[in-house]
């Protein structure tokens, strides 16, 4: 599938058309004992792109991300992260990555500002003319909205504040590539909104490439330029939210009322349908509402298709074997 | 700027910060004072007992002995506990996610545990010398002996603690190893002269660094006549140096291998799995 930009986002950096991908994954395989978790994952990410990796539990999202982070050895396949193999990434390579970890109770005695300043100091020798490392501590605390808590002990932070600190630690070295594994799990709607604003700021100002996993499809649609759906150990769909819903040729739902009566109609061509509706009834139409298939609808359809396809394949294998 | 030097310096700073944190934390203060005050109370009550075969106070002999033995025990156990706890809670994984973070983390731990152990020693020794007679540093030679015994003892014990700490994934299983360590301290002649023990027990005690640390600190702080109740009726400085250095070399060779293996296995999902397990126990 070809890659297209989502309108309204300007994440295309000025540069040559043959620029190096930030992530280049080809036929990545992972096997634990006799279980294949990843059976051939292939995708790329360009600088400044935000990718969301979706998929049912156990599909291999976390395994994929941990291989890319260099925290897990792969069984087979070619992987280049910022041009290097993560299995042999050196400290210089590590300094260009950001990993947002799900913290629990580490560094409980440290104060927020103290820890960020300490962890930032490791990045100092990796500062370049283009990217000043580390992020200035006060600016960073400001950016993640931890200003009122900068002097607090980390053990006293609330869950949402801790997650903001996790993000701050992940980006303290001004990473060129950031990994976010379920960043907003357990957030309330307000914290989630603030987190989304932060991610937008990162991609707009810093040109950071982001790979995130989430179960929140709404979040994926809001944040990601491109969505990858991982199921059964491989990528079954790759494209923008719009492309995915178009690929499923799903129908839009048109609702309206006329003479106090409510109507609902499902159509694949909502524009034509609405035009005809107005031509026919003109001012009689009220409360018009057009709802495109949401990412959730598309996602459910894709995963369901994939799973029924897999069960068909199993059935065929079974029939062939019993012949 | 050399990144390795930056990592080393960050580690030293990290250790300093964590020592400072331990001085304002109720749990840590308790750990500093409780065992040392217990020793002091015990010494106070046995102030009239004498070392067998001499007229020298048994509590005066026990003070330098506990200084050495306590240093070995503290360094070993604190390092072990710190590594298992901080692996479970994800501190180690954070270090792994940062350039030269592992180096900084380990240097930080060495500085922190050494500092905390030495602070514990000071808390024991200062009231101790006021409480008992006959314990003093007699001249620069004794100072020098104390210095090299303490430094070499720490270098011998910290890697063993790190190795043990990386063997246990679950801090609640550390108790398994605590009992043998306490038993080892008991057989090392810390509280009572080792020469009064059966010979086979003496050999076990002499195989480990705890005995030699205790012997070394006794040699620095006690009058020379007290060597008479030691094995071979001597302070055996050469053997002390040899044994402590041997353990130090062994530890410094094995620890990086074990630590690297442990660090390689850390990932977000392994920390998450441990968290899950710990939460189940609480519920």
Question: Are B14 and A173 within 8 A, CB to CB?
Answer: no
Domain that holds residue A195: 23-244
Domain end among A210, A244, A278: A244
**For residue B26, what is the nearest residue in chain A, using CA coordinates?**
A109
Cα-Cα-Cα-Cα torsion A82, A87, A92, A94, nearest 10 degrees, comes to 80
Domain boundaries, chain B: 11-282
Does A95 share its domain with A227?
Answer: yes
Does A30 share its domain with A179?
Answer: yes
Q: Does residue A111 lie in a domain region?
A: yes
CA distance A55 to B253: 45
The pLDDT confidence band at residue B200, using thresholds 50, 70 and 90, is: very high
Helix (H, G, I), strand (E, B) or coil at A144: coil
Question: Are B3 and A125 within 8 A, CB to CB?
Answer: yes
Q: Does residue A6 lie in a domain region?
A: no
Does A88 share its domain with A172?
Answer: yes
- Position A218 scores a pLDDT of 85
Mutate to test the interface with B, among A101, A172, A174, A175 (most CBs of B within 10 A): A101
Nearest-CA distance from B26 to chain A in Å? 12
Does A70 share its domain with A183?
Answer: yes
Residue numbers in A near B101 (CB within 8 A): 119, 122
Mutate to test the interface with A, among B2, B3, B273 (most CBs of A within 10 A): B3
Residue numbers in B near A62 (CB within 8 A): 268-269
Of B2, B267, B275, the CB nearest to A66: B267
Mutate to test the interface with B, among A58, A91, A116, A178 (most CBs of B within 10 A): A91
Residue numbers in A near B17 (CB within 8 A): 110, 114, 118
H helix or E strand, kind and range, residue B61: helix B58-88
For the record, the structure tokens of A99 come out as 């990993």
How long a stretch of residues is chain B?
A: 283
Query: Which residue, chain included where needed, has tokens 């260009």?
Result: A96
| ipTM at complex level | 0.88
Question: Are A181 and B7 within 8 A, CB to CB?
Answer: no
Q: Is A148 exposed, middle or buried (0-12, 13-18, 19+ CB in 10 A)?
A: exposed
Does A225 share its domain with A158?
Answer: yes
Nearest-CA distance from B248 to chain A in Å? 28
- Position B204 scores a pLDDT of 93
Does A209 share its domain with A82?
Answer: yes
Q: Does residue A11 lie in a domain region?
A: no
Which of A321, A294, A123 shows the shortest CA–CA distance to A218?
A294
Q: Does residue A78 lie in a domain region?
A: yes
Does A272 share its domain with A159?
Answer: no
Q: Is B25 exposed, middle or buried (0-12, 13-18, 19+ CB in 10 A)?
A: middle
Does A90 share its domain with A198?
Answer: yes
Question: Phi and psi for B244 in degrees, rounded to 5?
Answer: -65, -40
- Position B172 scores a pLDDT of 80
**For residue A61, what is the nearest residue in chain B, using CA coordinates?**
B269
Assign residue A231 the CATH number of its domain.
3.40.50.300
Residue numbers in A near B271 (CB within 8 A): 101-102, 104
What is the rounded average pLDDT of the residues B34-53?
Answer: 87
CA distance B212 to A189: 61
CA distance A168 to A149: 13
Does A79 share its domain with A175?
Answer: yes
Does A221 share its domain with A128?
Answer: yes
**For residue B104, what is the nearest residue in chain A, using CA coordinates?**
A122
Q: Does residue A2 lie in a domain region?
A: no
Q: Give the Å distances, CA to CA, from B178 to B162, B169, B206.
A: 14, 15, 19
Domain end among A197, A220, A244: A244
Whether B224 and B149 have beta carbons less than 8 Å apart is answered as: no
Q: Into how many domains does chain A fold?
A: 2
Does A85 share its domain with A209?
Answer: yes
Nearest-CA distance from B271 to chain A in Å? 9
pLDDT in single tens digits along all 323 residues of chain A: 444 444 444 444 444 455 789 999 999 999 988 888 999 999 999 999 999 999 888 888 989 999 999 999 999 999 999 999 999 999 999 999 999 987 778 999 999 999 999 999 999 999 998 889 999 999 999 888 899 999 999 999 988 888 889 989 999 999 999 999 888 877 778 878 888 888 888 888 778 999 999 888 888 988 999 999 998 888 988 988 888 877 766 678 899 999 889 999 888 888 899 999 999 988 888 889 888 777 787 888 888 888 777 666 666 666 665 55
Does A155 share its domain with A260?
Answer: no
Whether B78 and B160 have beta carbons less than 8 Å apart is answered as: no
Of B3, B13, B275, the CB nearest to A118: B13
Residue numbers in A near B97 (CB within 8 A): 69, 94, 97, 99, 101
Residues belonging to chain A with any Cβ–Cβ distance to chain B shorter than 8 Å:
62-63, 65-66, 69, 71-72, 91-92, 94-95, 97, 99, 101-107, 109-110, 114, 118-119, 121-126, 169, 173, 181
């Amino acid at each position: 599938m070809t890659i297209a930009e989502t309108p309204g986002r300007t994440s295309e950096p000025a540069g040559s058309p043959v620029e190096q991908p930030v992530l280049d994954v080809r036929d990545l395989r992972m096997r634990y004992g006799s279980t294949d978790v990843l059976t051939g994952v292939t995708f790329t990410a360009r600088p400044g792109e935000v990718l969301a990796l979706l998929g049912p539990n156990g599909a291999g999202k976390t395994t994929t991300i941990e291989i890319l982070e260099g925290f897990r050895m792969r069984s087979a396949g070619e992987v280049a992260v910022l041009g290097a193999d993560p299995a042999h990434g050196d400290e210089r390579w590590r300094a260009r990555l950001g990993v947002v970890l799900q913290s629990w109770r580490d560094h409980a005695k440290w104060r927020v500002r103290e820890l960020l300043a300490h962890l930032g100091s490791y990045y100092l020798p990796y500062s370049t003319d283009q990217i000043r490392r580390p992020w200035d501590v006060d600016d960073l605390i400001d950016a993640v909205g931890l200003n009122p808590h900068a002097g607090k002990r980390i053990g006293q932070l609330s869950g949402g504040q801790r997650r903001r600190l996790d993000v701050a630690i992940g980006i303290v070295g001004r990473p060129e590539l950031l990994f976010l594994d379920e960043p907003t799990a357990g957030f309330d709607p307000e914290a989630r909104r603030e987190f989304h604003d932060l991610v937008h700021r990162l991609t707009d100002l810093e040109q950071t490439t982001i790979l995130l996993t989430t179960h929140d499809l709404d979040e994926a649609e809001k944040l990601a330029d491109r969505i990858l759906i991982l199921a059964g150990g491989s990528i079954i769909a790759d494209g923008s939210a719009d492309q995915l819903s178009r690929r499923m040729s799903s129908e839009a739902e048109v609702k309206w009322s006329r003479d106090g009566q409510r109507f609902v109609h499902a159509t694949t061509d909502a524009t034509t349908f609405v035009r005809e509706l107005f031509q026919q009834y003109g001012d009689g139409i009220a409360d018009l509402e057009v709802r495109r298939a949401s990412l959730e609808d598309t996602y459910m359809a894709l995963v369901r298709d994939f799973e029924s396809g897999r069960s068909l394949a199993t059935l065929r294998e079974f029939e062939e074997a019993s012949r | 700027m050399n990144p390795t030097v930056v990592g080393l310096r960050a580690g030293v700073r990290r250790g300093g910060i964590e020592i400072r944190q331990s001085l304002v934390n109720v749990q840590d203060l308790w750990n500093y004072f409780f065992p040392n005050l217990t020793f002091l109370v015990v010494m106070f009550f046995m102030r009239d007992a004498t070392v067998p075969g001499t007229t020298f106070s048994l509590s005066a002999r026990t003070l330098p002995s506990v200084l050495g033995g306590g240093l070995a025990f503290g360094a070993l156990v604190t390092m072990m506990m710190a590594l298992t706890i901080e692996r479970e809670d994800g501190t180690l994984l954070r270090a792994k996610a940062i350039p030269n973070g592992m180096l900084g983390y380990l240097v930080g731990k060495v500085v922190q545990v050494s500092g905390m152990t030495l602070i514990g020693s000071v808390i024991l020794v200062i009231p101790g010398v006021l409480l008992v007679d006959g314990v003093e540093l007699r001249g620069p030679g004794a100072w020098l002996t104390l210095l090299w015994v303490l430094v070499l003892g720490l270098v011998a014990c910290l890697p063993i603690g790190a190795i043990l700490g990386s063997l246990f994934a679950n801090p609640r299983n550390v108790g398994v190893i605590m009992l043998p360590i306490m038993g080892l301290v008991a057989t090392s002649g810390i509280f009572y002269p080792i020469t009064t023990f059966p010979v086979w027990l003496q050999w076990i005690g002499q195989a480990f660094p705890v005995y030699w640390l205790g012997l070394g600190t006794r040699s620095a702080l006690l009058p020379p006549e007290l060597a008479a109740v030691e094995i071979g009726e001597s302070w055996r400085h050469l053997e002390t140096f040899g044994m402590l250095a041997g353990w130090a070399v062994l530890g410094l060779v094995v620890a990086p291998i074990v630590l690297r293996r442990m660090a390689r296995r850390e990932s977000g999902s392994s920390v998450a799995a441990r968290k899950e397990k710990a939460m189940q126990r609480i519920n």
